[in-house]
Every structure is written in structure tokens, then in C-alpha cells.
Structure 1
Amino acid sequence: MKKFGLLGLSFLVLTSILVIPGCAGDKNDPASGLPTFTSEKALVSAFTQAQNRGYAGNWWAMEAMPPVPAAQADAAGVAVNKAYSDTNVQVAGVDEADIIKTDGKYIYAVSGSVIYIAHAYPSESAEIVGQIAIEEFSPQELFIDGDRILVFGYTYTGYTEPGYPITIMPDDMMPGSSSIIYPYRTGLTSVKLYDIKDRSNPELLKSIDIEGSYLTSRKIGSDVYFVINSYPNYSDIKPTASDLIPGYRETSGDSKTPVSLKPIASYDQIGYIPPVQAASFITIASLSMTDADKAVSKTVIVGSGENVYASADNLYIAQTSWPVYDGIGLPIADQTQNTVVTKFSLKAGEIIYQAAGKARGHILNQFAMDEYDGYFRIATTISGYVNNRDTSTNNVFVLDASLKVTGALEDVAPGESIYAVRFMGKRAYMVTFLHVDPLFVIDLAQPEDPKILGKLKIPGYSNYLQPYDETHLIGIGHEVDPSIDAGMVHTENAVYYTAIQGVKLSLFDVSDVSNPVEVYKEVIGDRGTESLAASEHKAFLFDKESGLLVLPVTVAELKPGQPKNMQGEYVFQGAYVYNLTLNGGFSLQGKISHYDTNEIFQKSGEYFYGGSGQITRSLYIENVLYTLSQSRLQLNDLADLSILNVLALDSK
């Protein structure tokens, strides 16, 4: 098997549980302080044993390692008033990549396989001025920084990738014949940095390819941090370390010369947290958007990243460690769900391992995690089902800087699961659901003693909570009709509650922590109505100053006389535009659609499959509202929602 040249870089690899004799040597990786593999054989043995045992990821939680000292990162930047909207993010000052961005003059949007650059304001002169389209590259989302744009996407490589020759093997079935063995490689996550001083002619400055799938990214200042999941290649009967370690390459400019992938690290640059269970890799990397010549920083973890939280100072990767009852002698106490959390400090593009810890249960999404005043907070659900009864419980854990549990609030809302979480300073707001929606107000002022201050039980539930101010929250989820049997219905494609009705918007007043109140609510449509904003926070547009609230909605309505437990007929897809105030609640200003009024929605049974006109995002610049679908970027006047302009997009 061909051996690759090694990169002169320092990396960290992290994983959990199965002891592999001979892995650790007597020297540690100087960057991380973690033990390293002593040979290629030791690394290959760790992965092949995990493969033979059927592991596809981390199953058990690791023991926490002591933190490695690191300098504190600068504080997050203070938000300034802008005449245009930013991406709706979890943490102020920590940007998140999305399919659309604006700098107040131009809009940058992903549609199909093309990135469009539109001169967007003023509306009367709006036009598409530039495009980025690369063969065999599928863009996913992007960042902007002045005259730079950074694009994340997927590159299809097939079997002709340079550096991976085919192998001809004898065919045991037919003597004298042979078979061609094509090396299996995962797809490539590609990261491309462009100079866009000339918006009509973007210039590629740097391209990075890493074997694996893109998980998420964050931007702090001009530095971008991103996370890639990679799975080892077991196509060879006897794989080498080079076969298993993710491939990496970097090219400058718009080079047409093929560059071979090389392993992202050598065996002796790979560290781990003992004891080791090697199954898959995560890569955390960073690059500068303003300095294309600055080296790319990388850290590699063996594990399976599922959710990521980032503050201005630290990045946390969470992965679920599910119990495996295979009789290998683990203590009963270890046979439970755990969320394994790994912490890295972020400083001017540098990624430094700090600590690893765990919390009982699994998490819903990134909003189940938070950092405040030196502590890490996490909300989890421990799922269970015994004798046809849901035995799930919910918890909030507070961990210190070393990720050791400092305080715990456990066994909240037995028989229910977490549907939404939002941490806000010294408090957390958590929604659980079974038949009704309890909104819990949780006090975290004393990290060692979190406690429930109050709760509100109302029909329905929220999937997403958006802060309005310090004492008010916006919730988006679904209404539930208590008069309908709330039993679960199983269909070929889904499991759902028959009592769930239309999309519900709520405004909660939590100024009296012992008695939270739903002061306003708005229900859209009937059963079958959905909003992308309930599951994708970047689709939620809200500006407190103006009261503007916009969300994409697919509306289903029942015909007269139909019972409420039936699926409604789809009648609208587009954006609902509201004005929200503390005095008046939700006031619908109008609706925007990219479909013609006489266009028939494509349906298949009970499910709506949105076409190219399905609105997925919205933003504003000055007095203009912009909505994005695969087919167009539409401009509407915020005063009366009249159409000002339409920029057609070719969504190929």
C-alpha cells in the first residue's frame, strides 16, 4: 500500500473506553499533553479491534482529563446598531454560517450548486452581480468578512482521487482471473476562501479539503472554526495507519494541478484520552478570513461529534455515549446514556484542548448547552420506556472549568422529554412535553444548587425559545387540543400525536419567576402546519426595536366539518410577517409567497414536498424585506409588503 508523506503539524486525537495494550508510550504530545500512540501498529490495532467489535462511534463516557492551562480569549464584541439584520445566532459575537448573509449593501446566498452575489440595496437597482459555481462542488453555507467570503461545501471525488490507486487482486471464485479493488474513500468537505473586492469576479485564494462530512462552524472576529466528522476506511483486509487517518490537502489560488490527499497526522502525532476506543475521527480546524497566508490550525479527535456550542472563549463538542449491554463486565452504574463533552479554548485561531467530562443523559441540540461566568451548563434527557410507560427524566447539570459536575437538578418532569431550552444569564428556561407544555424557570445563580423557581403548564409546546428581553421569551412550536385523544399514531413514515394542531407562537412573561405567564399566543393553520423556524433558529427573523418578526410557514387547513385530528390540506407556503410588541402581542402584517396564487402544491399523501419556491430565510436592509427560496430572492417593502423587485435564481 502506498505511504503518504507526513504533515509537519501537531495534532490531538481524543476518544474513549476499550484498553488497547501497547498504545501509550512514555512521551506525550507537546501541544495537548496527552499520551500518543507508540507505533502505526498500535493505532491500527485500536481501530480494527473497535471495527471487529461492531462499534460505529463512542459508546461509553470518558473519564475527565485535567485542563491544560491556556490564556483567556478576548471578550465578545459589543453589538452595534445596524440598518440590516444579521444571522440569528445563539451567542452574541459568535457568528454562525448560513445559506444567506448580508453586509447591508450586498446579499450572498446559496441556491442549488451556485453562490449568488446580489447588489441588494437600494431595491430599485438590485441585481445579481456575481456567481460562484464549481464543477463537482456543492456549497452548503458561508461566512462573509469585508471583501472576503468563505464557503463550506462537499466535493464529490469518485474513485479517481489522486493518491488512491486501484488494487488488482486474484479472484478466488475463478482461478486465473482477477478483480479490481477500488479504495473506498469518504467524500470531502471543502472550504474555499475568496477575495470579492470585484463582486463580479470572485478570486479563489485558498481551498482546503478534508475527508469527512461538515458538522458546523463558528466565526469569532476574522477567525473561523469548523468541525468535520470522518469515518475510517476499512476497505483493505489489512489497513495501514494511512488508510485510517482522514486525508487532507490544501491548495492556493485557483490551481488546476491535481494535489494528492495526505494523512492529516502521523501515528506519533495522534494522542488520546486513555483508555482508548477508536472508531471515528473529528477534525476541528481554523483559518483566518483576512490573512490567507496564515497557516490552517487543526486538531483531530477520535469520536463522533453531534452538537457544538461555542462562546467567545471556548468550543465544546458533545457526543452521546449510549449504553451497550454486551456482558463485558462494566459496572451497572456505567450502563446509562451519557453526553461526553470535550472543551477547547479558542484564541486568535489557536485550538487548545482543555478538559473532557460527562453528564448523564443525551441532549436535544446546541441550545441545551451554555457557558456563563466560568461554568458550563447542560440540559439532558435520560430516555426510558418500561411496560409501555415512558420513564424519561430530565436534568440540568452545572460543570466547572475542568468539566467536573458542580451542581445538578435531576428528575424533572418524569415521563416527558425536553423540547426546547434557552439559557439566559443566571437562569434557564426549559420546555418539556407529553400532553401539555410545562415551561420551567430554573435558577442557576448558585452553580452548586440549581433549582426550579416556577413553571407554567399550558396546552401545546415550544420547540424553540427566542429571548425578547430579560423578562420575556418568544416560543415557537405547536398548539395541542386537549379535547383530542393525545395517543400516539404510527404511520409508515412517522410517529405523531393526534392532538397536535397548527404552529403556535407564544410570548411568555417571566418577570414573576414563580408564576410565568403566556401573555399572548398566535396559532397558524391546522394539523400539518409546520415552520422551519421551529427546528432551524437561523430561519427566525426578529428585531425587537422595530417589532419585526418573520418566519417561514407551510400552512395546512381543514375543510369545514373535518375533525381536528385529521391532516389539513396544504394551502400556503411562504413567510408570515408580524409586528410584535409587549402591549399588543402578535399582529399579522401580511404574507409573502414565492408561488403564484394559482400554483398547485405538490403533495404525496399527508406530506408536503416544497419545491424551488419554498421560502427558507428572510432578512432586512433598511426598509426592505428580503426572502430567499431556491428560485428567487424577493424584495418587499416593509411598510406595506408590496413587491419591489424579484431576482431570479437558477437553482440547478
Structure 2
Amino acid sequence: MSGKELKSHVTEEQFEDEKDRKIGNELREEADKIEVPDKLKPERIELMLREHTEQKVKRWKPIYTAIAAACCAVIVGGTAVGVQLDKKSDSNYTASSKEKTKSKNTEKAAEGTQIASAKDYDEVYDYVKAQEESQSVQARGGAATYSAEGASMDSSSEKAVASSDTSVMQAVDSGVTASDYSDTNVREDGVGEGDIVKTDGKNLYTMYNNRIEIVNIEKQNMEQAATIRLEKNQDIREIYIKDDQLVVVYTESYYGDETDSYSYRIVTTAEIYDVSNPDKPISKGKVTQSGNYNTMRVSGDYVYLLSDFNASIVNGRDAIGEYVPSVQGKLVEDSNICMPQYVRGDTYTVVSSFSLKNPEEKVDSKAIFGCSGLVYVSKNNIYVCESYYNSDDSDVTQTCIRKISYKDGILKAVGQTRIDGTLNDSFSLDEYEGNLRLVTTVSSNGDSGIMPLVLFGDSADSEIAKQEDTNYLYILDEKLNELSKIEDIAKDEQVYSARFIGKTGYVVTYKQTDPLFSIDLSDPKNPQIIGELKIPGFSEYLHPYGDGLLLGIGMDVDETGTTTNGVKLSMFDISNPEDVAEVQKYVMEDCYSTNVTYEYKAAMIDVEKNMIGFVAYGENTKYYIFSYDESGFKCLFEREMTGYGNVRGLYAGEYFYLVSGNTVEKYELNGFKKVDDIVL
């Protein structure tokens, strides 16, 4: 919030005595003097958020959102760039409303267009300059005309059709049977992802502080095989193992001196180690690129590395390396810079590819310029989705989508489009038979996900009640042209989770009850809502659990929607999508959240072995494993966790391994009797 905006909030009626009025006058005088420091400009705040925040926890209670948003508004001078906070409406739920949101482009279908490449680096410079000028206007109290959401800490942070049995992908890759060992719960079946712990069935590979520990698990007692240590300024982000090739992704930070604080830069590196002899890992080479780590994907023998690079022009047009990213020490060519649909930008999503067989030789690279956003990777394409707020273009929030195809390391720009609404997470979109299905939450422009700053006893609820959301479903063709859409799904609610399974989509919205909508997508030109189930609470993560079943993990909430009763496991019968039913539920009354709600990789869900594993937070933090049958959920294992390290559960052979920080515990799968542990 700018100084003048703050001044407008401080009115005479809000002071009860002369002393308070005197303080108010002083505040007004100081408010007029406020200027946003360069280090607190939105792009700098976004950079710091990405660097220091690896996981985004969804806050569903409106009061928490209001407080957090108020703090953000003060910090960044009222400019909403790169910070997306949840908001909930308090008005009554209206089912199956057919009213259309009145936006300036409501009647215009999403139309795919070609992605333009940069003419030269000067054009990029001009875009960055336009972005900074726009933000400067906002900081001085002008209307907010643009904002893009850096929603993807890990687009990770990033949850629709992941494998219902996450060990299947590893079976395809290595030739072992699916029951040998588990792999990371992935976003897209058949597309590999990095994580903080991995196994190849013979060894565990785990991250702790600035090192990777390799633990041999072939014998009854685990043995530490080797340690890979990084430098002090290197921060390990994720690892990936395939065919005795260990990919270690880390970032390095570089700071300028006191006279040049803008030279702060982050570089992402993927270094490949040969671990065929796990006692002596050998570095085979590495690939470096500008920006903070976003995510990685592996398809076949190729690794696709994604990072977010913040452009800066404070040192002028000649300092090209500060506003154009590099890969392997070379500037990305202007022909490989994908320009945005709007004539502004300050951030890139940098994508490079390399082969595990020849890691130092970059195969291809693209720099998607504009503002970094949520990333979804299908079997054939990479989608970069940026939330877009511009009241000159539309009365409602929108999302810009760019599509980059990939095959054998080769990247090609396919097309781009813009649709109404914003995405909840990567599970809100899904590619199927060449088409892209998406579900968005549409809010009035100017809302942009930032709750209003409430001062001096104003009611947060009254501000929330003024906001009205609705939800759209889109189906786009291969060129991102609109084939069809459904408007006003659960008006006055927001999307909390989604899962697309073949020709059916399942969407959870929430305000007071948990409507689970089933949508028939068999005809891409005519999708139909065919079912709606209303139950108290909400599911924040959905996962297929065998034929005709859908697992939901979320919260149990009373019928007023104001009090949580605990974490809820739900099993939905979806054998008949027109008549979905919650056949079983299990409420963990002493728990208020799980790690699955903000990090899908943290879930260990295996239908074949009938295991559902995750961390739940309550008075104590515990790792739980549940099974499921027709009689309901059964808790097989619970273990209190100490410390604040990330936790993963996985199995190999007949044993379950629980990894937390520098500790690994080994249990028998049959009965979960502890047989060994090791401190690394």
C-alpha cells in the first residue's frame, strides 16, 4: 500500500481522543513521505519468497488470509505481484447458477495464437522497462493494472492424473516389477520427477543439509555407502535416480557488494553422478542455467530442467546478462525467448534439456518470458500458466497459458492463449488425447487474490462478503483454441481440488459444504456436469484408488463451515459418475493439516500394497499409514516425528523405510515391526 493509500484509511472517525488524533496526524505526515525502497519492490520480494520458501501451505480460514494479505500489502507497497493468497466468500452458496460473469471479453472464446520470439535483446529490455514503470505507478498509488502469480515454488508445490500406483512408472523405466519398490508420487503417470528421497531398490538416496547420503539397503542392517558434499553456497533442491545415474539439482547464490546490491543472482545446476559403484560416486558433468530452481522432469533418457529468472535493468541496456538468462554460460538466443501476450515482463521460466548419457551437452533451451507461473508437464508438452490481472482487458482475473512441446530433448513453441479465471494448482489442468482440460476460479479484477487491508476494527467478514467467485471449465484443442466451456460451476465458491480421470473430471469446491462435481468430458465440444455430491468439509487432494474409487484427503468441517473437526480421509465410489457417493470416511480429530495438501510428492499411495502414507500435524507431528477396505480405513502405522526436516515414506522389497532429516528407520511391511535405524 502506498503512502497516500494508507493516509486514506486513517480517518478522523477512527480516533477516540485527542491523543489518538495527534498520533494520526503524525502518521498522515509520515505516510505522505513513504516511498517504496528498491529492495522492497515486488520483483525483489518475489525473488526472496522463492529463495526462502520451498512449500506453500494453503490457509483456508478467511481471517488468516486477511491478516497475511494485510502484511503483504504493507511490505510491498500495495503492489500485488507474485503473491497469491486464498480468499473465501461469506455469501450464500447457489448451486448450478447459470448467470454469466460480465467481463469485457465474456463473449470471446479462448483463441490460441502463435508464440512470438524476441526480435532482439533490446525488445526484451523495453518489456522489462515497461514492467518497472507499471509497478512504479502502482507503488505511487495508481490503479493496479497487472499482476502475475509466481505460483509454482515447485509447481511443486506445485497436484490431475498422477499414477494411482506410483511404482508403475519405475517398473517401466528399469524393468523391475511394480511391487519391488516405490517411487515418488508423480503429477503425470510416466513422467519422472525429482524429490528429496529416492530409491532404486538397492540403495536409498537422501538429502540432508548440504549433502546427499547413499545408504545400502540390500542387507538386513542398513549401511552408509557414501556421502556427496556440496559447497557452502550451494543449496540442494532435489535428486533423481535412473539406471545408476544420480541427478543432483542445487542452486547457488551470488551477492553483489554494497555498491551493487542488484547483482544478486541465483543459478540452478543439475550435476550427474555415476553411482554404479555406490561407494564411489563419480561426477560425469553438469548443466547450469540462470534462475532459482522451479522443477524437473525426466522422460526417456532426457532431463528437462526448469528455473525462474528475474530480469533486472538497473545497470542499463548493456548489462544484457542481468535481463537475459544463460544456459551453460551462454545467453539464451533471442530466437529462443518466447515473448508474452502483453507488452511487459520481468521474469522467465527457463527450460533446458540434456541427456543422461551425455549430461554436459545441452540439447535445447527455451526462455518463456513474462512472469513465471504454475507449470504442468504432460507426456508431450510443458504448460506455463501465469495469473493475469488487467482491468483494461477484462473485469475478471485471467490466466495466460503457453505451450511448449518436448520430444527427445527438443523443445518447440506451440501456442498461447488467455482464459478467464486462475488455477488452484497443477491438478486443475490435464492433457488428454491432445486436448487441454482446465478448471479455474473466476474473481472480479482488482480482487487478484489479495485480501483488503483492514484497519481499526473494520470487519474482515464484510470485505470478504463483497467478493463473489465462480468457476469455469475449459476444453482447449492442440492449438489452445477453445472447444467448449462450462460457466458458473458452484457460484460463490472456489476450486479446492481437481482430478481428471480419463473422460471424467472431478472437481471439489468449497465454502461451507464440499460439493464434489463429476463432469462428463467424453465429448470435448459438449462437456456436461452429470453429478454433484454435497458433504461437510472439503478434500484438498484427490487420488484414484483402484477401479471405481477416489481417495480424498482434506478437512472435516461442521455444517456451518466455521469449525474444523480434524483431518478427513474420504473414499468416494465413482463407479457411476452420475451418482458419486462418499462410502467411507475417517476423521483424525487431533490433526489440523497434512503435508499432502501442499506437496503431493509427500504422499505414499500404493493401491497394490493397500497403503496410504502421509504426515499429519496436530499437537504432535506424526507419520501415518492407512489401509482401506469395504469396512473403512484402518490405521496400520503411526510414528511421532521430531525436528523440522521433511519426511518421506517409501518401500523396497518387504520393508518400509521412514526418512526424516538425517535419520532412516527400517520396518517390516508385514506388521511394521522396526528392524533397524541409522543416523547419517
Normalising by structure 1, we get a TM-score of 0.75
The structural deviation recorded for 1:34 is 6.1
- Tell me the equivalent position of 1:286: 353
2:666 aligns with one of 627, 635, 642: 635
Aligned to 1:53, the other structure's residue is in SS state helix
Aligned to 1:620, the other structure's residue is in SS state strand
How far apart in 2 are the matches of 1:579 and 1:448?
A: 39
- Tell me the equivalent position of 1:128: 224
Unaligned residue ranges in structure 2 (runs of 5+): 1-112, 139-143, 149-168, 448-462
- Tell me the equivalent position of 2:576: 512
Q: Are the aligned partners of 1:102 and 1:108 in contact in 2 as well (CA < 8 Å)?
A: yes
What is the 5 A alignment of 1:164-563? 180-181=259-260, 184-236=263-315, 240-249=319-328, 261-265=329-333, 267=334, 270=337, 272=339, 276-292=343-359, 294-323=361-390, 325=391, 330-331=392-393, 334-384=394-444, 388-482=465-559, 485-486=560-561, 498-526=562-590, 529-555=592-618
- In structure 2, relative to structure 1, the CA distance for the partners of 1:58 and 1:204 (3 Å cut) is farther
Instruction: Specify the code of the residue in structure 1 equivalent to 2:332.
Output: I
Listed one character per residue, the Cα deviations across residues 512-550 of structure 1 (whole Å, up to 9, x for unaligned) are 222211111111133x52210122111111221221221
Instruction: Specify the code of the residue in structure 2 equivalent to 1:149.
Output: L
| Paired-residue identity, % | 27
- Tell me the equivalent position of 2:211: 114
- In structure 2, relative to structure 1, the CA distance for the partners of 1:276 and 1:387 (3 Å cut) is closer
How far apart in 2 are the matches of 1:453 and 1:78?
A: 36
Q: Are the aligned partners of 1:44 and 1:239 in contact in 2 as well (CA < 8 Å)?
A: no
Aligned to 2:135, the other structure's residue is in SS state coil
The structural deviation recorded for 1:273 is 5.5
Worse-matched range after superposition: 130-139 or 201-210:
201-210
- In structure 2, relative to structure 1, the CA distance for the partners of 1:578 and 1:34 (3 Å cut) is closer
Instruction: Specify the code of the residue in structure 2 equivalent to 1:44.
Output: Y
Q: Are the aligned partners of 2:340 and 2:369 in contact in 1 as well (CA < 8 Å)?
A: no
Instruction: Specify the code of the residue in structure 2 equivalent to 1:506.
Output: S
Instruction: Specify the code of the residue in structure 1 equivalent to 2:575.
Output: S
- Tell me the equivalent position of 2:99: none
The structural deviation recorded for 1:415 is 1.0
How far apart in 2 are the matches of 1:641 and 1:77?
A: 24
How far apart in 1 are the matches of 2:301 and 2:117?
A: 32
2:626 aligns with one of 563, 568, 578: 578
Instruction: Specify the code of the residue in structure 2 equivalent to 1:53.
Output: S
- In structure 2, relative to structure 1, the CA distance for the partners of 1:84 and 1:54 (3 Å cut) is same
- In structure 2, relative to structure 1, the CA distance for the partners of 1:632 and 1:58 (3 Å cut) is farther
- Tell me the equivalent position of 1:607: none
The structural deviation recorded for 1:317 is 1.3
- In structure 2, relative to structure 1, the CA distance for the partners of 1:38 and 1:447 (3 Å cut) is closer
Unaligned residue ranges in structure 1 (runs of 5+): 1-31, 62-75, 160-165, 167-178, 250-260, 487-497, 556-569, 596-610
Aligned to 2:601, the other structure's residue is in SS state helix
Q: Which has the higher helix share?
A: 2
Instruction: Specify the code of the residue in structure 2 equivalent to 1:533.
Output: V
Aligned to 2:572, the other structure's residue is in SS state strand
Worse-matched range after superposition: 79-88 or 472-481:
79-88
- In structure 2, relative to structure 1, the CA distance for the partners of 1:390 and 1:515 (3 Å cut) is farther
| RMSD between superposed Cα atoms in Å | 2.6
Listed one character per residue, the Cα deviations across residues 296-354 of structure 1 (whole Å, up to 9, x for unaligned) are 4211111223222222211111111122x4xxxx35xx242111111111110111111
How far apart in 1 are the matches of 2:542 and 2:596?
A: 10
Q: Indicate the structure whose relative CO is greater, using CA pairs within 8 Å and at least 6 residues apart.
A: 2
Q: Which has the higher strand share?
A: 1
- In structure 2, relative to structure 1, the CA distance for the partners of 1:106 and 1:341 (3 Å cut) is same
How far apart in 2 are the matches of 1:542 and 1:363?
A: 25
Instruction: Specify the code of the residue in structure 2 equivalent to 1:54.
Output: Q
The structural deviation recorded for 1:623 is 1.6
Q: Are the aligned partners of 1:215 and 1:228 in contact in 2 as well (CA < 8 Å)?
A: yes
Q: Are the aligned partners of 1:594 and 1:615 in contact in 2 as well (CA < 8 Å)?
A: no
How far apart in 1 are the matches of 2:517 and 2:260?
A: 57
How far apart in 1 are the matches of 2:203 and 2:621?
A: 26
- In structure 2, relative to structure 1, the CA distance for the partners of 1:301 and 1:506 (3 Å cut) is same
Q: Are the aligned partners of 2:594 and 2:615 in contact in 1 as well (CA < 8 Å)?
A: yes
- In structure 2, relative to structure 1, the CA distance for the partners of 1:90 and 1:40 (3 Å cut) is closer
Q: Are the aligned partners of 1:454 and 1:516 in contact in 2 as well (CA < 8 Å)?
A: yes
Matched, 1:44 2:90: no
Q: Are the aligned partners of 2:531 and 2:580 in contact in 1 as well (CA < 8 Å)?
A: yes
- In structure 2, relative to structure 1, the CA distance for the partners of 1:450 and 1:311 (3 Å cut) is same
- Tell me the equivalent position of 2:634: 587
Normalising by structure 2, we get a TM-score of 0.72
Aligned to 1:320, the other structure's residue is in SS state strand
Instruction: Specify the code of the residue in structure 2 equivalent to 1:127.
Output: E
